[in-house]
Structure 1
Amino acid sequence: MSKPFLSEPETSTTDTGVLLLNLGTPEAPTPQAVRPYLREFLSDQRVVELPRFLWQLLLRGIILPLRSRKSAHAYQSIWQDNGSPLLIGTRSLTQALSKALPESVITRFAMTYGQPSVMDVVQEMKKQGVANLLVVPLYPQYASSSSGAALDQLWRALLKQRVQMAVRSITSFCADTNYIKTLAAHIHTHWKQHGRGECLLLSFHGIPLAQQQAGDVYVEHCRTTTQHLVSELGLKDNEYRLAFQSRFGYAPWVGPSTQDLFNQLPQAGIKKLDVVCPGFVTDCLETLEEINIRGKADFLAHGGEQFHYIPCMSSENEWVKILIPLINQNLQGWL
């Protein structure tokens, strides 16, 4: 029988740590690697709020055999020589923040699903002497299925500690001034380099409608970000759209649907489209493949003439500018 608590490291230090949490990624773009990642992800009841026994029958018997092959093919279209874009981007952001923070602050990252796991990284940080931990889920807008699921993994790790760390978390920064102004400047820079389309589509990851109706604040946060951003950009009502992507299954999801708009906007006279994904800190499958490959193809196939995806902001300059003030504010009293 496993011990209820992990052994405590032989250290008396009270160092401070910053832990970044992102969604996760398979270790390779193959069905064999994608399947266990999807099984862990889709088994989380924060993500799929259905009766567990029934859902597991569907997941293991039907969904995983089909979706693993399809997802692996999608990952293959964006995979880089040194690995998953999400993993590369998260590691780069962690390194950039580590350089910008005091040397005494131990900065690491972990994934809600897959590797490096939250359990392993938290235990490693504890062995290094971290007693005060600031946790930053890399989602500007809070959702139970993203930030909530990431923090669940942290609480599970703390349950294994005999002497628990002191913990603070940044659960949302959807209206943060630095976030809005830096993202607006990022979009302006893209327009200066590539020209400006007739409409800016702000595409956020979607959630099932039932989760919003149960009280999830995510859609409200997305609307808040949109309102602040379009105000900073000075856009008129007919110059932008808000939409939600990545629908899965047959249950209703919040809308309007990004996928539907790719088909409908050309028929409404919008032939030149810019797309930005404000809810993603690093480019990943949902931005690079779903938006910039499949979405672009759909938009052009339905009569669109120009499609520009505006990539996620760079970790070395833009995200450091956004996150360092938030982190420093939440580290007060620990340094």
Structure 2
Amino acid sequence: MYSTAKAKVTIILANLGTPDEPTIPAVRRFLKQFLSDQRVIEIPKPIWQIILRLFILPFRPKRVSQAYSQVWGQDSPMREILFEQVSAVKTHLTQLYPQFELNVVPAMTYGNPSIQDVLAQVSAQPQEHVILFPLFPQYSATSTAPLYDALAKWVVQQRNLPGLTVIRDYYQHPLFIQSLAQSVRDYQAIHGQPEKLLMSFHGIPQPYADKGDPYADRCRITGKLVAEALGLNEDQYAISFQSRFGK
């Protein structure tokens, strides 16, 4: 007998990751996993592991755990928001596509729920199609690419492979730009319009960009499009990058 059941489709919404708790041991475990990824830190592995284990992991988790404690609720804000996104996307898409058996699941590159565990669940319940959606508007080898790596490792272990789609990025999608612009309008409607709008993006090391990582250019395009959507001239906005870790 051939099955006539609805085609099973899984959508994986994936973010970077977060510690399990705002404690020093939990933050240390998270940082060890995150900062051991050579996509993130390109220093030769033997040298970097000495730096990581002797100078970073013994000291940095205390300060980072204190910062997490200040924003922690029932759970990490990142994980709470990711779960909310999963619920909202599943509700919306289930109504739009009743012909499919849709499953929308959360995943993290580092920490829990781990992308490896999520892909293992897909193996246990074979799907017709899997859509991997990294929640990074601008592609970077430091953020999006590790999810490609996890998917590639999973693929070679599978016999009954589903169709696969990876959403690379969406830095200039009209709906994304409209959403950002509207969030600025909503804020300024309450707090007033400033002399200049500063759009700040997470940073990557300059050598990574010099080697071809398109992230910084994509951020600048996003900023320019948001400014255009808001009707700002060049004197009314600026674009910056944040987060510096050592040299």
Shorter-chain-normalised TM-score: which range?
A: over 0.9
Does the 8 Å contact 2:126/2:160 carry over to 1? no
Q: How does 1:69-218 map to 2 (within 5 A)?
A: 69-80=62-73, 82-102=74-94, 104-218=101-215
Q: 1:126: Cα distance to partner? A: 3.2
Name 1:15's counterpart in structure 2: 8
* Contiguous gaps of at least 5 residues in structure 1: 1-11, 251-335
Name 2:33's counterpart in structure 1: 40
Give, in whole Å, the separation in 2 of the partners of 1:207 and 1:188: 28
Write the letter of the residue equivalent to 1:241.
A
Give, in whole Å, the separation in 2 of the partners of 1:223 and 1:132: 33
Give, in whole Å, the separation in 1 of the partners of 2:110 and 2:51: 20
Give, in whole Å, the separation in 2 of the partners of 1:151 and 1:137: 9
Q: What percentage of residue pairs aligned between the two structures are identical? A: 37
TM-score of the two chains, using structure 1 as the length reference: 0.69
Name 2:49's counterpart in structure 1: 56
TM-score of the two chains, using structure 2 as the length reference: 0.92
Give, in whole Å, the separation in 2 of the partners of 1:161 and 1:202: 43
Give, in whole Å, the separation in 2 of the partners of 1:247 and 1:159: 36
What root-mean-square deviation, in Å, do the aligned CA atoms of Structure 1 and Structure 2 show? 1.4
* Contiguous gaps of at least 5 residues in structure 2: none
**Helix, strand or coil at the partner of 2:232:** coil
**Helix, strand or coil at the partner of 2:187:** helix
Task: Show CA shifts across 1:189-230 (max 9, x none).
Answer: 111122222221111110001100000111110111011110
Does the 8 Å contact 1:23/1:150 carry over to 2? no
Name 1:331's counterpart in structure 2: none
Q: 1:149: Cα distance to partner? A: 1.5
Name 2:221's counterpart in structure 1: 224
Does the 8 Å contact 1:14/1:129 carry over to 2? no
Task: Show CA shifts across 1:51-79 (max 9, x none).
Answer: 00110011011111111111111111111
Give, in whole Å, the separation in 2 of the partners of 1:236 and 1:176: 21
Q: 1:14: Cα distance to partner? A: 4.9
